[in-house]
Structure 1
Amino acid sequence: PEEKARRKAEDEVFYQRCCVIFERVQPELIKEHYDWFIVIEPESGDYFIDPDEKVARQKAREKHPNTKRLIMQINETGTCGRI
């Protein structure tokens, strides 16, 4: 239980760090790249965009092969897909 709680807390910190970057760049990117994918690497602050999710992931993987990254979509909420 402690390990699970620790991982959950770390994941939340990671997510929040990514969200700060997303919220900073989203207003400008949304104008010309609506619904494109954005992969965020929070340690460096780097982000990678492409209309193709696989290409965006590959761009990020090439520069940061051994880091945790978050994928979002450039829209009002950052969420990918539909419910």
Structure 2
Amino acid sequence: MTTQQPTKRPIRRGRIFPEYTIPPEELARSEAERKARYQRTRPVFERWRDELIADHYNWFMIIEPNSGDYFIDPDENLAVEKARQKYPRGNILVSFRINESGACGMI
């Protein structure tokens, strides 16, 4: 009886799809846009947080950055749905949690 040795496959290194690599300029632009959105929405969150924290602790607050409109709900999906009813055109929304830090999820 002969025992066959398993064939050793070469270890592949690198990206699975290198053609889908995002250029560094686009990554930097996207990061700058994200930070600008945050800078526009954080003051809205800060303005309403203390008032809302007593009755709506840990609810989600979805803010539309251009108008400053916000939508709250205990379920994040429902809050986003409320925002999408008023802003259906694919505006990027920013999520906060109505608590001391505003963080949504684990840090």
Compute the TM-score of the two structures, normalised by the length of structure 2. Answer: 0.73
Aligned to 1:80, what secondary structure does the other structure show? coil
Partner-residue secondary structure (3-state), 2:54: helix
Cα RMSD over matched residues?
Answer: 1.1
Structure number having the greater strand percentage: 1
- Higher share in helix: 1
- Distance in 1 separating the partners of 2:104 and 2:93: 15
Aligned length: 83
Query: What TM-score results when the alignment is normalised by the length of structure 1?
Result: 0.92
Superposed counterparts of 1:1-83, under 5 Å: 1-66=24-89, 67-83=91-107
Distance 1:23 1:71 in 2: 13
Distance 1:81 1:44 in 2: 25
The amino acid of 2:48's aligned partner reads: V
**Unpaired segments of 5 or more residues in structure 1?**
none
Using the alignment, how far apart are the partners of 1:28 and 1:12 within structure 2? 25
Q: Which has the higher contact order (CA 8 A, sep 6+)?
A: 1
Give the number of the structure whose alpha-carbon radius of gyration is greater: 2
User: Aligned letter for 1:28?
Assistant: E
Partner SS, residue 65 of structure 1: coil
What is the percentage of aligned positions where both structures have the same residue?
Answer: 55
